[in-house]
Amino acid sequence: MKSLKVLIVDDAKFICELVTKIISDAFPEAAVKAAFNGQEAQVLLISDEFDIILCDWEMPQMSGLEVLKWTRAQPQYKTVPFVMVTSRGEREYVLKAIHAGVNDYLGKPFSKEQLIQKMNKVLHKQKAPDVIQQAKAATMLVQEQQENVPPSKSVQKPKGMAYLRVKDQVYKCAIKDMSLKDVLVVVKNEGEFPRVLDQAVIDIEQLSGDSVARVNGFIQMVEAADVHINSAFINIRITLIDDDPDKMAHLSKYIASVR
């Protein structure tokens, strides 16, 4: 696609680099720029013109929803495709994004194919979101995001449990160790497990069971828990890439509660 200009907005540098590579491979003629927060995105959007915007929701200082609302208020960007890329898939979040004028919604973690499919979809429908279709769109997007949402928190979980989401797989895991930089978990060996450098989202449930910390990261290490070819369990280390103060405060409380 010639002269395609793409803006990526995400406070995680790893995600920006990953998305840039995927787009550059799929659209060799595309010009891709990245902003690491909402303010940087505003500067780029004012100084340049983009054909599509891929924006994270959870960012410090200025959220993706605020970026979306600001963008739609600019005459030149009222109909430019805007895709929200986030680990937030709850109905209330999807509805807020739709009412603010989002074109589509891509849940983290995502595959290369899913990202390109979303881009092709919105680029071939370059028009303002249809208000009449908002209810149907909300339902479809919620169903899509909920495919990877862990079971209800109403059932009390054992201490140190979490859910690791990588591509289309969800792994129930036990937390072995944790810091604000990484998490070491163990999962049952069922023949399928993540690969190193895969994008991941880990949902860490508080001991009280009343809240979940949903953190973005990537797979740093995968190894057998036992020195045996048929090891029953697999150790997985996830490097965290979020830089959200609220998430870090939540994780700090969790770490203090288990030590």
pTM of the model: 0.63
**Phi/psi of residue 90, nearest 5 degrees:** -65, 150
Instruction: Please give the residue that has the higher pLDDT: either 156 or 53.
Output: 53
**Phi/psi of residue 222, nearest 5 degrees:** -135, 125
For the chain, the residue count is 259
- State residue 208's pLDDT score: 52
pLDDT tens digits for 94-150?
788 888 899 988 888 888 999 999 999 998 865 444 444 544 555 555 555 555 444
Establish how many alpha carbons lie within 13 A of residue 253's alpha carbon, considering only the half-sphere containing its beta carbon. 13
What residues have CB less than 8 Å from 181, skipping those under 6 apart?
A: 239, 240
Residue 69: both structure tokens together: 């609302």
Q: Is 167 exposed, middle or buried (0-12, 13-18, 19+ CB in 10 A)?
A: middle
Residue 16's identity, in one-letter code, is: C
**pLDDT surpassing 70 at residue 55:** yes
- Considering only CA atoms, which of 84, 112, 255 is closest in space to residue 197? 112
- State residue 131's pLDDT score: 44
